[in-house]
Amino acid sequence: MTAWEACDGFRRIRTARLVFAGIFCLHGVFLLAFAGAGLDLALSGKGALGQNPGTLGIVIIEGTLAALAVNLSYILLITDLLSSRLARKAETDYLTGVYNRGGIIQMGEAMGQEPLSIIIADLDLFKKLNDKYGHAAGDKVLRNFADTVEKNLRPWDALGRFGGEEFLILLPRLGAERASRIAERLRWEIEKTEIPWESQPITYTVSMGISSRGENETKDLNRLIAEADEALYTAKSLGRNRVVWFDSGQMTIVRASEPLPGREA
């Protein structure tokens, strides 16, 4: 679970938390008042508070109500947790386990105008891979890519499947140069990956486009996506297996890699 998800879950269970807090505060006030009244009676020589049938009845009623309230708040807590899980499931891509398109867009919009770098990654020649090895192999490649990316991200970063073989990576409070280094490390790791499959391992590559929003910039998420998509198009047109950074309208190639031997450019 990322830090963003944890914060979202914490927000979702606020109802149960408020009920719990109210119950414990009221119960604590009652116990303090009860203890104070008992001390006054003891000091005045009128006997113990528990020896008064009327007072004892109040204690029993209060204890019963407190127990019922705790049970109710527990039910609210479970309900909120289930709602949170259902909401997370609705935002999750069933195949890879990362955010789906709606979920990752919602996550990006929730980041407001804070500094942000995004990466759009597209698996190269994925259709040909599917045609050659079959859709089951293609699914395995998609899961491998998602797993590889998640292992290289910080807890507060986010990954989502943007559609088909395209993924969106959100890197809050990370400048373009550091985002480029992360993207290049991912590209290199993917290039070296061999996925076991029947008679021969599957290899694949990925192209990536990067866009960033600095401290004083007001780019919205749609503009960042458009810029990263343009950079991705440049990476594809230059031969794939590349990382390109959209830098103030200019395209900066992070690494101009040559096509892998035996692989179509």
Q: Show which residues are catalytic.
A: 165
- The Cα 190–Cα 204 span in angstroms is 7
- The Cα 209–Cα 227 span in angstroms is 8
Q: Which residues contact 212 (CB under 8 A, 6 or more apart)?
A: 115, 116, 117, 118, 174, 175, 176, 179, 224, 245
- The Cα 51–Cα 45 span in angstroms is 13
DSSP-derived letter for residue 257 is P
- The Cα 49–Cα 105 span in angstroms is 61
Reference 104, options 242, 191, 228, 246; nearest CA is 228
Q: How far is CA 156 from the centre of its chain?
A: 7
**Residue pair 228/221 in contact by the 8 Å Cβ criterion:** no
Q: Half-sphere exposure of 245 toward its Cβ, with a 13 Å CA cutoff?
A: 20
**Residue pair 233/209 in contact by the 8 Å Cβ criterion:** yes
- The Cα 248–Cα 264 span in angstroms is 31
Q: Say whether 260 sits in a helix, a strand or coil.
A: coil
